[in-house]
Structure 1
Amino acid sequence: MQTLANLMQSYVDKKGWNDLEGIKETEIDGVWLYRSSNGNGRQPFTYESGIILLAQGRKNIYIGDRPVTYAAGDYLVVGVPMPLECEAMPIDGEPLLGLSITIDPKRLHKLVKQLEEQGFLESYCNKHKAGSSGLESTEMEALMLDSCTRLMKTLHCEIEANILGDALIDEVVYRALTGAEGRVLFDLAHQDGHYARVAKALSKVHEEYDQTITVQSLAEEANMSVSAFHNAFRNVTFESPLQYLKKVRLNKAKDLIQIEGMRISDAARRVGYSSPSQFSREFKRHFNATPRAI
């Protein structure tokens, strides 16, 4: 029987991606394959909302002062975009292999509604802890492993991927919702809860990071008092609102400089910095390298 790692490697072979150091989108919309022979030292990243699983290798994530480790056989449930620091390590000379699965809000709400109609949420809440951060790691249960294994088998055939892919994503998201850290996604779907309100404010940060954003305006977006919003924001992201905003801006600027080749001064202005010197200082503090070196 082929393991999940074997299936990912055979898919990499099929696609000719054996030199890949990063991610590539697969034939199924919203499903990305991650591969790296080298890994990376601890450096800033932004994890987008979704399910991230590893079949080979290990990663250490640092969210504020909270470390999270996940390795082969584990998966992450990421409810909101999370600026964090990550180090990735191959094991025994084998490349890191994993999948990243984006969760469309319509898909999430559909599945949550169906589960609630079946009375699932009440029994789930009686068994699992209350409250969620924006990112949780858990071991891949047998049912989740089976779903992901069939997803990888389907990716080997373009016809199957086109016809069965969407249903398989439903199944994987269902497994995450009913798994140990499903509350992260349930809370995100409930628009009246603090978690969902913070998520709404985070959407504003990611859409309007180049504009003037205050904690007051974010609290208003979440329909909360400033003090309640500040506490709820920290519980979800392990950051203050202004620290989070700063990391989003700096990560966006890095992409503009490194990927799009934008001039440093132009990138600084694009992400909302009026002072180039302040941008350079904060960039170096965040990435431990100057914009020019990046």
Structure 2
Amino acid sequence: MRLDEKEVTLQQELAAQIERYTGIDGTFSTNIPSLHFIRASNETDPIHTLYEPSLCIVAQGTKLVILGKESYVYDPSCYLVASVQLPVSGQVIQATPECPYLCLRLDFDSSQIIDLIREVDISQNVPSSTKRALYVSQTTTSLLEATVRLVNLLDTPQDIPVLAPMIIREILYRILLGEQGHSIKQFAMTGSHADCIAKVIEMIERDFAKPLRVETLAAAVNMSTSSLHYHFKEVTAMSPLQFQKKIRLQEARRILFSGVTEAANAAFLVGYESPSQFSREYARMFGLPPISDIKQFRSTLRAASN
């Protein structure tokens, strides 16, 4: 998809602001609590993380996100939305020191969406079928204009408390009106299948180290086990057990990289009873068994510090 001349100008302004507020690689918070900037001057290895409900807009470069077995690529011509918490793998696939990857992430929560739906008649055309909670959609001029205005508020911090909530509301309104806005709306409809799946996701994430019993989860949201399996996979592109496994392994890797314990104990902390099973599944997800992965991580840190 190609941007028109006005959209190109807006993206360039956005890129210049992100570069000005970062300057080095990394993820940066801003004076607007829900707004974050990301910069990378080279292509990256896959990074496993938990996406929160958020809007991501790339001003420069290209990124690949993998959810389950599905791939999503987005660049300045499109934006990405995650409607609920999702374990994903993200990788910058186009970036150079001369033209770094520059992106912003705007976090939001369901209460902001519910308030919008209540106040404005944007609840129509919500399909009865459950939709994926992650999608890529074409960038629009109106969305870019609002986003640039939000970022420009960082130059006048005294205006942020009054104007930022208004502009964020406009941005969310724009994506709700977008061609795939129903993917967000579905989670704000109390009692919908998507709403039930969002509750199940919260339960799995809260108790990920405990044995997963689908029957118990289904009963908690008044669904049959078959219906829960079906709609959970429609939303997340994976089964509840696969979802839990990714959460467990991501947390185990975080623990191991912090250096506070060894692999066998990390396995136990995240709910594994068999260290050998943990090692196999860890290597399948991250490409190396735990001990080798830790060694490579420490080697990379030493090289970066030299």
Letter in 2 for 1:238: A
Note if contact 1:176-1:182 (Cα within 8 Å) is conserved in structure 2.
yes
Deviation at 1:291, TM superposition (A): 1.9
Paired with 1:129 and 1:5, the residues of 2 have a C-alpha distance of 39
Equivalent runs, 1:69-148 vs 2, <5 Å: 69-91=73-95, 93-115=98-120, 118=121, 120-122=122-124, 124-125=125-126, 131-148=130-147
Paired with 1:162 and 1:5, the residues of 2 have a C-alpha distance of 26
Which 4+ runs in 1 deviate beyond 4 A? none
Task: State the Cα deviation string for residues 81-105 of structure 1 (Å, max 9, x = none).
Answer: 2222332123464111111111122
Task: State the Cα deviation string for residues 183-236 of structure 1 (Å, max 9, x = none).
Answer: 111101012111111111001111111222222222223321000110111111
Is 1:209 aligned to 2:208, yes or no?
yes
Task: Say if 1:78 and 1:103 are closer, same or farther in 2 by CA, change over 3 A.
Answer: same
Task: Say if 1:228 and 1:129 are closer, same or farther in 2 by CA, change over 3 A.
Answer: closer
1:57 matched to which residue of 2?
A: 61
2:298 matched to which residue of 1?
A: none
Paired with 1:201 and 1:262, the residues of 2 have a C-alpha distance of 30
Is 1:6 aligned to 2:8, yes or no?
no
Task: State the Cα deviation string for residues 30-89 of structure 1 (Å, max 9, x = none).
Answer: 111111112313453332212111111111222233222111131112112222233212
- Alignment TM-score, normalising by the size of structure 2: 0.85
Paired with 2:156 and 2:280, the residues of 1 have a C-alpha distance of 49
Note if contact 1:5-1:97 (Cα within 8 Å) is conserved in structure 2.
no
Task: State the Cα deviation string for residues 209-265 of structure 1 (Å, max 9, x = none).
Answer: 12222222222233210001101111111101101110011111112222x332133
Task: Say if 1:129 and 1:136 are closer, same or farther in 2 by CA, change over 3 A.
Answer: farther
Structure 2 runs not aligned, ≥5 long: 1-5, 295-306
User: Which of 24, 27, 38 lines up with 2:28 in the alignment?
Assistant: 24
1:172 matched to which residue of 2?
A: 171
The alignment covers a number of residue pairs equal to 284
Letter in 2 for 1:204: M
Task: State the Cα deviation string for residues 145-180 of structure 1 (Å, max 9, x = none).
Answer: 111111111123222223322222111111111111
1:283 matched to which residue of 2?
A: 282
Is 1:48 aligned to 2:17, yes or no?
no
1:262 matched to which residue of 2?
A: 260
Task: Say if 1:239 and 1:286 are closer, same or farther in 2 by CA, change over 3 A.
Answer: same
Paired with 2:264 and 2:23, the residues of 1 have a C-alpha distance of 36
Percent identity between the aligned chains? 28
Deviates more, 1:180-189 or 1:37-46: 37-46
Note if contact 2:68-2:88 (Cα within 8 Å) is conserved in structure 1.
yes
Task: Say if 1:11 and 1:71 are closer, same or farther in 2 by CA, change over 3 A.
Answer: closer
Paired with 1:178 and 1:36, the residues of 2 have a C-alpha distance of 31
Q: CA RMSD in A?
A: 2.1
Structure 1 runs not aligned, ≥5 long: none
2:217 matched to which residue of 1?
A: 218
Deviation at 1:109, TM superposition (A): 1.1
Deviates more, 1:152-161 or 1:173-182: 152-161
- Alignment TM-score, normalising by the size of structure 1: 0.89
- 2:280 aligned counterpart, secondary structure: helix
Paired with 2:264 and 2:158, the residues of 1 have a C-alpha distance of 47
